[in-house]
């Protein structure tokens, strides 16, 4: 049994997940992240940028992305994915919520007064020190080349091209593991189960990504989905033949083999190009069901 905590407002917290008294039908099945790690709800103003919502429309006003629109207004948090402020230790000032991603972010304060946001690793606390560089110890939150990490290290925010910044393993609760070292590459096992080679000069951050309970959430009601900017999705089998290949039929028909709106089979058909750059670096494909 997971430990159960009940606060003064009647909310039950199970190791980072909040449950609510069923005073309404939607609250009966709602489970949300408790945000116990968050230390402030006021973002750093100098690291904010505007986001213009498109509502799924292009420049001509035509709907090009279905099931998108609405949602709460957001501002983008400028994240330091490159971690290129080398050999200068930074102090963790706050752990914050980011509406644009599933992971939490950490505000780093450097001695010269500069502030930067980074993806917060799981277990990073306010007051801790993080540093980037080739000679730094492989400790939580530190960023260093893959060649300088011991085998078995848990990592995230991994570069695929040197100096371009981390582009994989950035979502909540994910982590990769350093499996082997070769002459020019290291072998990394990714969260999908894929094992691939990455240049050993690429940078990565030690630790797993924060907010590991994100996948345990149950939004509880349609309105909460709308707050996220996601509109209701129509099932293909409920459409007419003119709208979808799986539509039409007498009564409740199955719709045939699952397909996309363009007729391409959607379950089991391999769509990755064999000529795609980097395919020769993949040792083992992802474990798909």
Tell me the pLDDT tens digit for each residue of 246-269: 999 999 888 888 999 999 998 888
Q: Is the pLDDT of residue 133 over 50?
A: yes
Q: Is the pLDDT of residue 15 over 80?
A: no
Cα separation, 245 vs 260, whole angstroms: 8
What's the start-to-end Cα distance of the chain, in Å? 29
pLDDT band at 1 (very low <50, low <70, confident <90, very high): very low
Mean pLDDT of 204-232: 96
Cα separation, 94 vs 54, whole angstroms: 31
**Distance from the Cα of residue 259 to its chain's centroid:** 27
- pTM assigned to the model: 0.90
- pLDDT for 2 equals 39
Mean pLDDT of 271-276: 87
Tell me the pLDDT tens digit for each residue of 147-196: 999 999 999 999 999 999 999 999 999 999 999 999 999 999 999 999 99
- pLDDT for 274 equals 82
- List the domain boundaries for the chain: 5-34, 45-212+279-284
Residue 4 burial (10 A CB sphere; 0-12, 13-18, 19+):
exposed
Name 259's Cβ contacts closer than 8 Å, sequence gap at least 6: 236, 245, 246, 265, 266
Tell me the pLDDT tens digit for each residue of 222-247: 999 999 999 999 999 999 999 999 99
- How many other C-beta atoms are found inside a 10 Å radius of the C-beta of residue 270? 8
Q: What percent of the chain has pLDDT over 90?
A: 85
Indicate the CATH number of 45-212+279-284 among 3.90.950.10, 1.10.10.10, 3.30.365.10, 2.40.50.140: 2.40.50.140
């Amino acid at each position: 049994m997971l430990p159960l905590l009940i606060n003064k407002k009647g909310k039950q917290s199970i190791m980072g997940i909040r449950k609510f008294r069923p005073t309404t039908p939607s609250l009966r099945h709602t489970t949300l992240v408790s945000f116990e790690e968050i230390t402030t709800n006021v973002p750093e103003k100098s690291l904010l940028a505007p986001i213009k919502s498109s509502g799924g429309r292009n420049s001509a006003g035509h709907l090009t992305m279905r099931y998108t629109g609405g949602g709460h207004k957001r501002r983008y948090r400028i994240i330091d994915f490159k971690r290129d402020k080398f050999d200068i230790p930074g102090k963790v000032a706050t752990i914050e919520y980011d509406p644009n991603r599933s992971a939490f972010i950490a505000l780093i304060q450097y001695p010269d007064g500069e502030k930067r946001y980074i993806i917060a690793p799981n277990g990073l606390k306010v007051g801790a020190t993080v540093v980037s560089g080739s000679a730094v110890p492989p400790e939580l939150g530190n960023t260093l080349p893959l060649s300088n990490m011991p085998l078995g290290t848990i990592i995230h925010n991994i570069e695929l091209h040197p100096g371009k910044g981390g582009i994989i393993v950035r979502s909540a609760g994910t982590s990769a593991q350093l499996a082997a070292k070769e002459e020019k590459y290291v072998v990394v096992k990714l969260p999908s189960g894929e094992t691939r080679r990455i240049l050993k000069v690429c940078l990565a951050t030690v630790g797993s990504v924060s907010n590991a309970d994100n996948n345990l959430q149950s939004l509880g009601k349609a309105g909460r989905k709308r707050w996220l900017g996601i509109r209701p999705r129509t099932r293909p089998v409920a459409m007419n033949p003119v709208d979808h290949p799986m539509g039409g039929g007498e009564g409740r028909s199955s719709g045939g083999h699952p397909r996309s709106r363009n007729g391409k089979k959607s379950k089991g058909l391999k769509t990755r190009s064999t000529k795609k750059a980097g395919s020769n670096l993949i040792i083992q494909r992802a474990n798909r069901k």
